[in-house]
Amino acid sequence: MEPYAEVVASYTSFAEEAGDSPCFVEWSLGVAGDPEVQRLIRTLPPVKQQPNLVFAAARWHGTPAPGPYAGLRATLLERWPEVRETILARSTQTNEVGRLATLLPAFATLGDRLHLIEVGASAGLCLYPDTYRHEWVQYDDPTVMHHVGDGPVLTCRVSGPVPFPERMPRVLSRAGIDLNPLDVTDADEMAWLANLVWPEQDARRARLAAAIDVARRDPPNLTRGNLLDALPRLLDRAPDEGSGEKAVTVVFHSAVIAYLEEPDRRRFAALMAGLVAEGRCHWVSNEGPNVLPGVTSTGPAPTRPGFVLGIDGRSVAFTHGHGSTLRWHEPATLDARTVGS
């Protein structure tokens, strides 16, 4: 076995998934073929060896992006102590609001009055689905087939019996949990978020800037803590409307549980299954297919890279990691409009 086989496998896999960024594809393949750089990365804790974090830290210390692999290599070899310090101090809290266009149909199937709790909330930017205009278009036709809401535009290509909401659900409260919640009013922390956006993706950078502006007008309620311990306590404090109108609590997460060790992933899945069974909340998950296999196994097998969208532990759709596509396979529970696959 190669001495750095795990690093090679991780970066080779990332190259296959990073087709939206030619720069990151080149960098990933470069690392996968460079034992000297692999040796440095292997000195990091396993959870800190992830490509996007290493690349972001190198960019933070001056690596031009987009740019050739030679620039990344030079930064890692010549400035490794500073880059390593940044990697250990920071995390990939991407907070991609584009995912909301894939999450909103799931939210809307659960109710039109929502208490939202995000696990792994970062800066809490995804707690504001009701402040955007969501536009859904067919895969092969840019014509908007359905939209809801007003504000900055989030566009998503769709197929299948998507349960488009006829009106925007009302968000009654917004709360989040993170080991290291970011402050939307802190310029340095928001600069790090912007640095996590992939090099060629200027539209995502603009979307992030708009999302930060939205959150700064009404900063989110974020709790610092381990999700396994903090979530039950946060649910205990969930608002009680007392108005007689039905409201539901939705716990959701995107690209978060992958950063837990395998035993904690299983603990989290069991925790959520129990909370759903007790009627304390609904659960919307949006993770890679191998992250929550119990969810993935309830639907068809994925045929391309991306995430599995789940509702209460049941696979309902496949999504693009940044929210650009939604392929719904579960029969819709609302007045759905089926589009071509």
Over the chain, what is the mean pLDDT? Answer: 91
The predicted model gives 129-138 an average pLDDT of 96
* Residue 240: per-residue pLDDT: 61
CB atoms within 10 A of CB 175: 22
Contact 277, 290 (CB under 8 A): no
- Is residue 93 within 8 Å of residue 191, measured between CB atoms? no
- Range name among 134-143, 307-316, 329-338 with the lowest pLDDT average: 329-338
Range scoring the smallest mean pLDDT among 12-21, 74-83, 261-270: 12-21
**Spatial contact of 257 and 182, defined as CB atoms under 8 Å apart:** no
Range list of H helices, 43-159: 51-60, 69-78, 80-89, 100-110
pLDDT band per the 50, 70, 90 thresholds, residue 331: low
pLDDT above 70 (res 130): yes
Place of tokens 């994925």: 302
Q: What is the pTM of this model?
A: 0.85
Q: What is the pLDDT of residue 73?
A: 98
Q: What percent of the chain has pLDDT over 90?
A: 82
- Rounded to an integer, the average pLDDT of 231-236 is 93
Pairing of strands 282-287, 307-311: antiparallel
Residue with tokens 């929550």: 292
For the chain, the straight-line distance linking the first and the last C-alpha, in angstroms and rounded, comes to 42
**What is the rounded CA–CA span in Å between residue 269 and residue 256?**
13
User: Residue 182 in contact with residue 189, Cβ under 8 Å?
Assistant: yes
- Domains located in the chain, CATH noted: 5-89 (no CATH), 97-339 (3.40.50)
pLDDT tens, 272-304?
999 999 999 999 999 999 999 999 999 999 988
What is the pLDDT confidence band of residue 259, given thresholds at 50, 70 and 90? confident
Which segment of 44-48, 200-204, 311-315, 328-332 scores lowest on mean pLDDT? 328-332
The string of pLDDT tens digits covering residues 209-219 is: 999 999 999 99
